[in-house]
């Protein structure tokens, strides 16, 4: 690789750059650098290149060379977008690793990594040719439609037209119209990042003189009293804040913008356009003083000690043991030593909560980054990390892609959370694992924190690969809650159960309400009833895309698919046989809420699940309501379990643990343990021990016992042995329309199963592939793996290599619809 010092003259050389294109393409493409740009090219800068017939893309320079490509003529780069690289060499290394590890292309990683405002791609625009007089009689139906649409909306894209005509191939039609001069086709590139501009108002300094000001008022009051009001409003505002924006002034004075405008014309006010940040900054005073408990201090010492020998440490701390405070101390140390810190969180919802806490300690040196930020905001965070203005970044999984320069510490909070894993578009990465690689690259320490660590991290800690620190005491002397397991079967027999609520749970709820305490009920299913079945013909409505049973939602009166979001009207008679005997089986949060309202009409009951938190502030509003005790009972899905402390909640009811325990995949026990202990962990507060009621048909289940005793070690040991003999049904849960799981771990697992079938001996086993199989795998995908296995034999490295081979081949090959394997066993 060649590097050029700034300003050095390299005119005579012809340079070529290899660039990463933001596409799913296997290799980097080479472009030629025009002489006048020789001094400006540098690895990590963005360039605009033409790729294919007419498309323009933003690409990143990955390599510079003097070697002209032999087999083809390189096109010229069209433009260099950056004065300084926006991506570092380390980031490029990280991208390459990620692409290799998760079996995808660097371009796909680039796509995930860069905020889309930094990636400008051209778009094909269709317009009417104004030079041309259209004779409508010569147009055919489709041309007529297109011309009609263009008269309403002057610019359309190719996909707009495809939608308009209801067909997929439109290019030939457009080309013909272009040749007939009816339309124009052009490529348009637009820079999408726009700084936010605000107009700020200042008072003409002349009026700092009180006499002048008095005179101004006396004139204005007579001739333009509204203008006088505006000036007055300005003076009041400017006392409170440093700068007054035009918007604030119009709002405060109640004056229209015409009034402000005339004051600006009279030069009473000066207006000035300023670039303002969209990012919220904390004005809170810094208060860095809090005392760590004895147990926390011990743990902190241990973490430091472990970090001397290990790069990754797993902190296993029970719920509300004050892990966050430990993190803050460590972050503080790191920031003081001049290095950057990345604090990863699994969900955006958690950020607001913790940002508030962290802002108190780190003020404006802390940045937040997650997918709910719009593009412009993301670019601003990117730039602030790049410039080093942000010392601490708090964010969701995508923040591993930010341009850090001297990262010293990465904290991965709630390490076990599955939302660290990206599923849908490639790269299908797990941010926790990526963070470990990132840490290694930057020589930074990585701290994984969890109350219920994942099997794989625990395994690594167990084997000495990671350091391990425990925190077994709740912070502030809050006791661990007591837990009672209630048999639903028994209460049903004794007829003491009302609806889905056992007498034990009802008692605890009513007692809590009488004491003005709050209750959380957990049911891990949303909607009203997950299955509808016809009593006559046993017909069950299923999703047309996913082949899973549709859930009845009472609030919408519709049947919803929880996999893909498909909805249809709820039938009143059986669509198959016409019978009216439709049975609603099972129950979700809607039903829990509904029935409880009947049983306890006085109580204020709310529900928290995906359906009630869809709107922007709904989640926060429910939390506030709970916080300020406008809610007595909150029924919800796992959302109620996620990392939030509710001060007034003393009773937690798990309506049915069985849906967790019977969940048919091999990570079910681990997940059930996590879920149950997380929910339980919310019970209790200072001076009042919490109570957890677990309702179940299977009170003797080992996971329930492990949860009650908080015996993680036992869970780990039993899982490690039981998983080795886990039996997979043939083509276990292979539903879904694409090869989604290109994860090495998952594939490895898949291959493992297939290999077992083929050779009947294969006993080495990875613990915990990250995810259960949820894909309907294409026929010949499996066939190719099998064929290759037959050919290559079955050693471990060979299995891995084979899979990689097959997958990379499949990445660029689309498979036909006809070759879908029907699952032999479908657990739904």
Partner DNA sequence: AGCACGCCGACT
Partner DNA sequence: GTCGGCGTGCTC
Which of residues 31 and 716 has its CB atom nearest to DNA in the complex? Answer: 31
CA atoms within 13 A on the CB side of 795: 3
Would you say 544 or 573 has its CB closer to DNA? 544
Residues 6 or more apart whose CB falls under 8 angstroms from that of 571 comprise: 532, 541, 559, 582
Nearest residue (CB) to DNA, 54 versus 406 = 54
CB of 113 to DNA, least distance (A): 16
CB of 145 to DNA, least distance (A): 12
Secondary-structure percent of the chain, ordered helix, strand, coil, rounded to 5: 40, 20, 40
Residue with Cβ nearer DNA (173 or 292): 173
Contacts of 252 (CB under 8 A, 6+ apart): 233, 236, 237
Is 587:529 a contact under the CB 8 Å cutoff? Answer: yes
543 with 550: CB under 8 angstroms?
yes
Q: Shortest approach of DNA to residue 165 CB, angstroms?
A: 8
104 labelled ligand-binding: no
Phi, psi of 701 (to 5 degrees): -55, 135
Give 171 or 796: the residue with its C-beta nearer to DNA: 171
In the block, tokens 């708090």 appear at: 394
What is the C-alpha to C-alpha distance for residues 148 and 142, in angstroms, rounded to an integer? 10
Phi–psi pair at 274, nearest 5 degrees: -135, 150
Contact between 213 and 221 (Cβ < 8 Å): no
Per CB under 7 A, residues contacting DNA are 23-25, 29-32, 50-55, 69, 72-75, 121, 124, 142, 158, 167-169, 171-173, 175, 812-814, 816-817
Residue 157 CB, nearest approach to DNA (Å): 9
CB 369 within 8 A of CB 393: yes
Tell me whether residue 149 or residue 668 sits nearer to DNA (CB atom): 149
- Which helix (H) or strand (E) element contains residue 484? strand 482-487
CB 372 within 8 A of CB 348: yes
Shortest separation between residue 544's beta carbon and DNA, angstroms: 16
Contact present, 518 and 512 (Cβ < 8 Å): yes
- Closest to DNA by CB, 218 vs 809, is 809
Q: Nearer Cβ to DNA, position 140 or 241?
A: 140
In degrees rounded to 5, what are phi and psi of residue 460? -65, -35
SS3 label, residue 632: coil
735, 774 Cβ separation under 8 angstroms: yes
Task: Tell how strand 340-344 and strand 244-245 pair up.
Answer: unpaired
The CA distance from 530 to 551, in Å, is 4
- Phi, psi dihedrals of residue 559, rounded to the nearest 5°: -100, 130
Write out 3-24 in H/E/C secondary structure: CCCCCCCCCCCCEEEEEECCCC
Output the CA–CA distances (angstroms, integers) from residue 4 to 1, 10, 42, 81, 544, in the order listed. Answer: 10, 8, 8, 18, 58
CB of 121 or CB of 807, closer to DNA: 121
Q: How far is the CB of 142 from DNA (least distance, A)?
A: 7
Minimum distance of DNA from residue 687's CB (angstroms)? 58
Q: Which is nearer to DNA, 25 or 531 (CB)?
A: 25
Measured from the CB atom, is 30 or 784 closer to DNA? 30
Please name the residues in contact with 132: beta carbons below 8 A apart, sequence gap of 6 or more. Answer: 181, 182
DSSP SS3 for 766: coil
Which of 105/802 has CB closer to DNA? Answer: 105
For 61, the enclosing helix (H) or strand (E) is strand 56-65
CB nearer DNA, residue 24 or residue 564: 24
Residues 103, 811 contacting (CB under 8 angstroms) = yes
* 673/603 Cα distance (integer angstroms): 30
User: Which residues, 6+ apart, have CB-to-CB distance to 642 below 8 Å?
Assistant: 347, 349, 350, 678
Q: Which of 230, 236, 198, 201 is nearest to 217 (CA)?
A: 230
Residue 107 beta carbon to DNA: minimum distance, rounded to whole angstroms: 9
3-state secondary structure (DSSP) of residue 409: strand
* Minimum gap (Å) between residue 186 Cβ and DNA: 11
User: Which positions make up the binding site for Zn(2+)?
Assistant: 534, 537, 543, 546, 561, 564, 574, 577
User: Which positions make up the binding site?
Assistant: 534, 537, 543, 546, 561, 564, 574, 577
């Amino acid at each position: 690789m060649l590097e050029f010092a700034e300003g050095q003259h390299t005119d005579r050389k012809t340079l070529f750059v290899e660039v990463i294109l933001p596409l799913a393409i296997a290799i980097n493409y080479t472009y030629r650098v025009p002489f006048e740009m020789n001094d400006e090219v540098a690895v990590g800068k963005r360039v605009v290149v033409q790729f294919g017939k007419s498309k323009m893309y933003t690409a990143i320079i990955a390599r510079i060379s003097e070697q002209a490509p032999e087999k083809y003529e390189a096109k010229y780069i069209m433009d260099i977008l950056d004065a300084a690289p926006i991506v570092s060499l380390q980031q490029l290394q990280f991208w390459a690793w990620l692409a290799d590890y998760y079996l995808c292309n660097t371009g796909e990683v680039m796509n995930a990594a860069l905020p889309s405002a930094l990636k400008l791609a051209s778009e094909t625009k269709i317009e009417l040719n104004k030079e041309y007089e259209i004779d409508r009689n010569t147009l055919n139906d489709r041309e007529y439609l297109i011309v009609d649409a263009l008269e309403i909306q002057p610019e359309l894209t190719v996909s707009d037209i495809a939608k308009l005509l209801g067909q997929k191939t439109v290019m030939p039609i457009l080309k013909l119209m272009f040749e007939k001069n009816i339309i124009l086709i052009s490529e348009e590139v637009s820079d999408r990042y726009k700084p936010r501009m605000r107009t700020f108002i200042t008072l003409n300094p002349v009026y700092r003189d009180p006499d002048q000001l008095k005179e101004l008022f006396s004139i204005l009051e007579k001739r333009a009293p509204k203008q006088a009001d505006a000036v007055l409003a300005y003076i009041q505002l400017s006392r409170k804040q440093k700068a007054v924006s035009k918007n604030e002034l119009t709002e405060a004075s109640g004056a229209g913008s015409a009034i402000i405008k005339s004051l600006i014309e009279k030069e009473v006010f000066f207006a000035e356009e300023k670039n303002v940040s969209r990012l919220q900054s904390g004005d809170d005073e810094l208060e860095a003083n809090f005392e760590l408990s004895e147990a926390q201090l011990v743990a902190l010492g241990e973490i430091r000690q472990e970090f001397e020998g290990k790069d990754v440490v797993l902190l296993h701390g029970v719920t509300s043991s004050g892990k966050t405070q430990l993190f803050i101390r460590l972050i503080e140390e790191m920031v003081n030593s001049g290095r950057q810190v990345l604090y990863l969180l699994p969900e955006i919802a958690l950020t607001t909560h913790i940002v508030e806490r962290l802002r108190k300690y780190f003020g404006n040196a802390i940045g937040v980054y997650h997918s709910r930020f719009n593009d412009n905001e993301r670019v601003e965070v990117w730039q602030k990390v790049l410039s080093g203005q942000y010392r601490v970044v708090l964010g969701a999984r995508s923040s591993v892609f930010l341009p850090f320069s001297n990262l010293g510490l990465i904290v991965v909070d709630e390490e076990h959370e599955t939302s660290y894993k990206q599923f849908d578009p490639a790269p299908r990465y797990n941010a926790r694992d990526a963070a470990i690689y990132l840490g290694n690259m930057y020589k930074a320490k990585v701290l994984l924190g969890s109350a219920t660590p994942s099997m794989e991290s625990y395994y690594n800690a167990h084997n000495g690969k990671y350091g391990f620190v425990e925190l077994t005491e709740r912070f502030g002397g809050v006791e661990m809650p007591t837990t009672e397991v209630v048999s639903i079967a028994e209460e049903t027999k004794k007829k003491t159960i009302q609806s889905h609520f056992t007498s034990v749970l009802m008692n605890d709820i009513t007692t809590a309400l009488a004491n003005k305490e709050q209750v959380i009920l957990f049911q891990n299913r949303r909607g009203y009833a997950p299955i509808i079945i016809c009593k006559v013909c046993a017909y069950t409505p299923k999703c047309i895309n996913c082949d899973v049973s549709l859930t009845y939602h009472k609030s919408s009166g519709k049947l919803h698919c929880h996999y893909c979001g498909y909805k249809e009207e709820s039938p009143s008679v059986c669509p198959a046989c016409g019978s009216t005997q439709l049975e609603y089986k099972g129950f979700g949060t809607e039903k829990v809420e509904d029935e409880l309202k009947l049983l306890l009409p006085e109580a204020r009951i709310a529900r928290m699940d995906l359906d009630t938190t869809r709107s922007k502030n709904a989640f926060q509003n429910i939390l506030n309501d709970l916080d300020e005790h406008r809610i007595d009972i909150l029924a919800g899905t796992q959302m109620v379990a996620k990392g939030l402390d509710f001060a007034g909640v003393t009773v937690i009811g798990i309506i049915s643990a069985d849906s967790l325990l019977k969940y048919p995949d091999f990570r079910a026990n681990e997940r059930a343990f996590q879920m149950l202990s997380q929910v339980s962990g919310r019970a209790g507060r200072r001076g009042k021990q919490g109570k957890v009621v677990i309702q179940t048909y299977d009170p003797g289940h080992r996971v329930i016992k492990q949860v009650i005793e908080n015996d993680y070690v036992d869970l780990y040991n039993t899982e490690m042995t039981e998983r080795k003999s886990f039996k997979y049904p043939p083509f276990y849960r292979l539903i879904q329309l694409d090869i989604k799981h290109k994860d090495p771990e998952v594939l490895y697992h898949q291959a493992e199963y297939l290999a077992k079938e083929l050779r009947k001996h294969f006993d080495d086993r990875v613990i915990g592939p990250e995810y259960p199989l949820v894909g309907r795998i294409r026929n010949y995908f499996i066939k190719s793996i099998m064929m290759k296995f037959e050919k290559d034999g079955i050693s471990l490295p060979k299995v891995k290599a084979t899979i990689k081979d097959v997958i990379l081949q499949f990445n660029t090959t689309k498979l036909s619809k006809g070759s879908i394997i029907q699952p032999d066993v479908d657990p739904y």
